[in-house]
Structure 1
């Protein structure tokens, strides 16, 4: 392993490997298939990057996370290592050129989304590349028992068959025993060596606090722990609201969610990374590939969907090994709220069938047709027209997308109906005099030959891709042509596009996938029940609850979580607390929070002692909602 250490020092400036990185690297170098379960922060990428640098050829990395792929390519480039990521939105001819570059351009890493493997020609081209290792990141996505199943991962086994002598390395940060066994089968790993790092994070104190006023509790936590923090919220609006509330309290805060423009994401991230902002308020779009070692506190102010996600997000705290806190704030209404958000919105078989049929009606697709057609799609208009519950309908479309029946792409585009008002020879004459419009016009004419005879719906995404132009350039050209009475066109906005990967078959289509829907709904319910047990269990160490969920049976109390601290702390006598309150009220009037803070009481102890004093007429409240002596 001397050469491996030299590469680690040269490119990553580390002197030693973390356990079990060195063992995984050795196994990969021996050409053996490997399964590695390494919790968040365990350094998974080094396990394939170092051995790939030691071998001739190219390492193929399959990852579902575009942001993570781009981040790793940029980090490798900073180290002088050539890497390329083939993400979505790249046209086939451009993709072909990029694959040629991989063959002849001295690249060491090729990052690819699993959806790319659904094209047989891509697999054929990969076969021609000098692949020395295939690393499958987020490997739990291949398992229908996992929390983030993606059908495209099932195509990876086709690649396994085409590259029988290339070692495969499956990597995941969260998998139960059942998911682990499924990954090995679904990826076709041959007698894999299995490495499992414990999920124990000895430096993280898992805290669950019940509170009516979450903002007040956050203020206490951030004041006590002024180092970098992450607050996870459920939606984009909460990102902005909580960030503004924290700023009004004097904290330097910023926010991050999937709806921000790239420049704004980068600017806000930079503020937090460089510690010009103490806290970043974020949705779960934030975090993948973020390796800031001194995050001291991760706070969730709403219940997570499952413990897999919670463990990964909480695990972004304390990567420097110092004591850190993963805090989950709970109010009495949270369970009911989370149930309505996560469970009540799961589509059943009948709702899935209804949504699928109405989608076909909305897009005017006849029975037995639709395959390989792409349509601009306004999701909100669709739900409004058929009076469908928005979240449930979105979950149904997402399920159809994951099953490969359709592909749902989220982006804003225009739905355009167009007809040429001049004969074709006049249009060609216009093109010869206006060469700047040539590519767009030729793309329209080649794809819609009947556009001179009738008003025709055109796919703006298809046209702009073929003409290598933007949506804005297309719309401006059509506006000019309409002013000159060369065309007549109408447009309406859409927030996504849908591509149908199969013909419409209604009952046959839904019957084929309904069993998977029922299975996944059952898994989601099980996962949610585990979250409820985590927050309501008052007799078990929080760290142990997480470890047992991930099938680690030999566990011990951590000594630092909210349960362990409560267990070790002797409850204060209500009489002693009441006397202590009388003592500090002699000096000045105080609110309940000030009393709690000064006497280091729990909220329950404070409330009970105050009730005793009020009932016995020893204290009363003034006009400022403070307690004073009678």
Structure 2
């Protein structure tokens, strides 16, 4: 038995490697650079963890996701393997201790973000470590054409000068041919050995259903497939709403989003992982590093931003190789909503220039000055002062951050959250008895309609503006409402810190980086178009469409997707269907959805049959949209 397989059995309790894992391990052990494109669930982490355990020294893992780093470190520690992650929020003194442990404590893995490598003193400490392998996870982040470009990844190639004899292993689950070329070039991989497993997930049935009543369709799917499921939604409120609606329908459901307190996240995650809840309703904050093998169904209730994200999220189903379902539910309004969310909020050069200019004015930075100056920054105050849309402004600041023009601290978040904890009629009664706070309370209720149901992120500057009262007065009213036990109210002193990394040069600065902005905007438009084409195309296998997007042009039809099933299904005998409809209507009046459900036919087929019966005047449609036999 090989040493690699012995380590796999000893620490991970697997009896064999998955496809390509052993070959990748052999390559990095021989000192060569490698590029591994393995689909979601393909076991990428084993490819660097096993060879690192076979050698003296420590493996440096560069990863962009704090949650993923923490999960992998916890996973390694549970196997008695010494691992450390340098995540955000760690103080310098603690960081020094952790790096000392790496150098003198026989640790095997050091996880850190690419931004950490930009700190000179951290890089100096890393240079003194006995590095045996450098693994770059989510390597598509290095590409301007990738779906999650991060400029800090461009600096990773500098490690080549400090560790010329240490192999690099670049790993990703989703990269087009153009992105693949970029990764190799930008990371400075030297004659890398390429490993690419097909993107085909033969056990996943990709289904696209048009559904005006998405909740009804979800109910049908979950009843038919009672195994563990994930439902992806667009926003935090939808998490709570759909989870509550499913509980009302008798399903055990929970929810997960980035705004939940850590304790609640862990509790809800455990309910689902331990199968005390069948369904977890989540935003795309959920899933990275979660490896639950028996997920039967992944349902998306809205259009994803791009095929890459959809493929990764859909790929969280069926990791045990049993048949699974990736379902995308669409309705006619989805295209408009997707364009509104992903395209209409894109930052153009004019708005970027305006944001940068106002940012400098906000902090009174003179032209030619400002380099290395750091300030406390409140996004809501900034947007309120200049009447800027918050989401678009944050995207502009993110772009400036990614281009290293500014550095925006990772702890940036909203400052206040609140929830009304008494019934609405009691709130009305309170307002009538306390008219001084009426305008502020009404502004809160109009702006945040979900504030009775859930803990809601709150913008005090916006409410001050809407109610025409000073912000201090808004905050005073909140304190009073909290005192009277009318609301739960949390105020966190966690404004962002913002550092200017360059001198102020206004348009000259923006002109230098605007070509990247235009390129990224064009990419986002192309990516959304690919999603719309995937949904709209009804004459090609859905699996083939996904594989073609990733460059696999000659794939066979999968035989199990929504297109293939429709193609295989023989058309219902129209006379037999008409007869069945008449039989059902003899007992009771039914609407089209009820008839579709009882006859087990498609929406189009049932409508066609009903139209024929209406034309023959065998049935009529009543004012409540139910059908009845004509007397």
Q: Provide the TM-score with structure 1 as the length reference.
A: 0.85
Q: Secondary structure at the match of 1:234?
A: coil
Q: Tell me the alpha carbon deviations over residues 291-314 of structure 1, each in whole angstroms, 9 at most, x when there is no partner.
A: 000000000010000000000000
Shift of residue 368 of structure 1?
2.4
Q: Tell me the alpha carbon deviations over residues 435-478 of structure 1, each in whole angstroms, 9 at most, x when there is no partner.
A: xxxxxxxxxxxxxxxxxxxxxxxxxxxxxxxxxxxxxxxxxxxx
Within 5 Å, give how 1:32-181 maps onto structure 2: 32-181=32-181
State the match for 1:517 in structure 2.
Answer: 517
Segment drifting more, 223-232 vs 119-128: 119-128
Task: Say if 1:376 and 1:494, in contact at 8 Å, map to a contact too.
Answer: no
Q: Secondary structure at the match of 1:411?
A: coil
Task: Say if 1:306 and 1:528, in contact at 8 Å, map to a contact too.
Answer: yes
Equivalent-residue separation in structure 1 for 2:373 and 2:327 (angstroms): 47
Equivalent-residue separation in structure 1 for 2:291 and 2:415 (angstroms): 38
Change (3 A) 1:272 1:602: same
Shift of residue 95 of structure 1?
1.6
Equivalent-residue separation in structure 1 for 2:564 and 2:498 (angstroms): 51
Segment drifting more, 551-560 vs 498-507: 498-507
Segment drifting more, 617-626 vs 274-283: 617-626
Change (3 A) 1:492 1:577: closer
Equivalent-residue separation in structure 2 for 1:128 and 1:406 (angstroms): 29
Task: Say if 1:228 and 1:297, in contact at 8 Å, map to a contact too.
Answer: yes
State the match for 2:374 in structure 1.
Answer: 374
State the match for 1:617 in structure 2.
Answer: 617
State the match for 2:460 in structure 1.
Answer: none
Change (3 A) 1:363 1:240: farther
1:262 equivalent in alignment to 2:262: yes
Within 5 Å, give how 1:572-591 maps onto structure 2: 572-591=572-591
Segment drifting more, 578-587 vs 217-226: 578-587
Shift of residue 88 of structure 1?
1.4
Equivalent-residue separation in structure 2 for 1:110 and 1:269 (angstroms): 26
Change (3 A) 1:248 1:162: same
State the match for 2:412 in structure 1.
Answer: 411
Task: Say if 1:206 and 1:325, in contact at 8 Å, map to a contact too.
Answer: yes
Q: Secondary structure at the match of 1:198?
A: coil
Shift of residue 365 of structure 1?
2.3
Shift of residue 507 of structure 1?
1.1
Shift of residue 577 of structure 1?
2.4
Task: Say if 1:574 and 1:608, in contact at 8 Å, map to a contact too.
Answer: no
State the match for 1:430 in structure 2.
Answer: none
State the match for 2:392 in structure 1.
Answer: 392
Task: Say if 1:299 and 1:328, in contact at 8 Å, map to a contact too.
Answer: yes
Segment drifting more, 369-378 vs 548-557: 369-378
Q: Tell me the alpha carbon deviations over residues 146-167 of structure 1, each in whole angstroms, 9 at most, x when there is no partner.
A: 1100011111011111100001
Equivalent-residue separation in structure 1 for 2:253 and 2:525 (angstroms): 35
Equivalent-residue separation in structure 2 for 1:496 and 1:251 (angstroms): 40
Task: Say if 1:212 and 1:331, in contact at 8 Å, map to a contact too.
Answer: yes
Shift of residue 391 of structure 1?
2.2
State the match for 2:479 in structure 1.
Answer: none
Q: Tell me the alpha carbon deviations over residues 166-207 of structure 1, each in whole angstroms, 9 at most, x when there is no partner.
A: 011000000011111111111111110000010000000000
Task: Say if 1:379 and 1:494, in contact at 8 Å, map to a contact too.
Answer: no
1:325 equivalent in alignment to 2:325: yes
Equivalent-residue separation in structure 2 for 1:413 and 1:610 (angstroms): 53
1:334 equivalent in alignment to 2:331: no
Shift of residue 629 of structure 1?
2.1
Q: Tell me the alpha carbon deviations over residues 55-103 of structure 1, each in whole angstroms, 9 at most, x when there is no partner.
A: 0010000001101111111111110100000111223333222111101
State the match for 2:288 in structure 1.
Answer: 288
Q: Tell me the alpha carbon deviations over residues 13-37 of structure 1, each in whole angstroms, 9 at most, x when there is no partner.
A: 0000011000000111111100000
Shift of residue 289 of structure 1?
0.3
Equivalent-residue separation in structure 2 for 1:554 and 1:129 (angstroms): 47
Shift of residue 251 of structure 1?
1.0
Within 5 Å, give how 1:300-379 maps onto structure 2: 300-379=300-379
Within 5 Å, give how 1:199-238 maps onto structure 2: 199-238=199-238
Shift of residue 243 of structure 1?
1.0
Equivalent-residue separation in structure 1 for 2:218 and 2:24 (angstroms): 40
Equivalent-residue separation in structure 2 for 1:211 and 1:317 (angstroms): 22
Shift of residue 494 of structure 1?
6.4
Shift of residue 337 of structure 1?
1.3
Within 5 Å, give how 1:413-452 maps onto structure 2: none
Equivalent-residue separation in structure 1 for 2:310 and 2:243 (angstroms): 21
Task: Say if 1:25 and 1:50, in contact at 8 Å, map to a contact too.
Answer: yes
Segment drifting more, 172-181 vs 384-393: 384-393
Q: Tell me the alpha carbon deviations over residues 399-433 of structure 1, each in whole angstroms, 9 at most, x when there is no partner.
A: 11111111223435989xxxxxxxxxxxxxxxxxx
State the match for 2:461 in structure 1.
Answer: none
Shift of residue 235 of structure 1?
1.1
Equivalent-residue separation in structure 1 for 2:81 and 2:493 (angstroms): 42
Change (3 A) 1:105 1:492: closer
State the match for 2:595 in structure 1.
Answer: 595
Equivalent-residue separation in structure 2 for 1:492 and 1:90 (angstroms): 18
Shift of residue 127 of structure 1?
1.2
Equivalent-residue separation in structure 2 for 1:532 and 1:164 (angstroms): 45
Change (3 A) 1:53 1:342: same
Q: Secondary structure at the match of 1:586?
A: helix
Equivalent-residue separation in structure 2 for 1:414 and 1:586 (angstroms): 61
Q: Secondary structure at the match of 1:36?
A: strand
Shift of residue 552 of structure 1?
0.9
Task: Say if 1:176 and 1:550, in contact at 8 Å, map to a contact too.
Answer: yes
Equivalent-residue separation in structure 1 for 2:257 and 2:415 (angstroms): 24
Q: Secondary structure at the match of 2:165?
A: coil
Equivalent-residue separation in structure 2 for 1:494 and 1:274 (angstroms): 34
State the match for 1:543 in structure 2.
Answer: 543
Within 5 Å, give how 1:449-598 maps onto structure 2: 495-598=495-598
Change (3 A) 1:37 1:412: closer
Q: Provide the TM-score with structure 2 as the length reference.
A: 0.85
Shift of residue 381 of structure 1?
2.6
The structure whose Rg is larger is 1
Equivalent-residue separation in structure 1 for 2:578 and 2:98 (angstroms): 74
Shift of residue 396 of structure 1?
1.0
State the match for 1:461 in structure 2.
Answer: none
Task: Say if 1:204 and 1:318, in contact at 8 Å, map to a contact too.
Answer: yes
Equivalent-residue separation in structure 1 for 2:323 and 2:220 (angstroms): 18
Task: Say if 1:34 and 1:170, in contact at 8 Å, map to a contact too.
Answer: yes
Equivalent-residue separation in structure 2 for 1:321 and 1:494 (angstroms): 44
Q: Secondary structure at the match of 2:587?
A: coil
Task: Say if 1:376 and 1:414, in contact at 8 Å, map to a contact too.
Answer: no
Shift of residue 11 of structure 1?
0.3
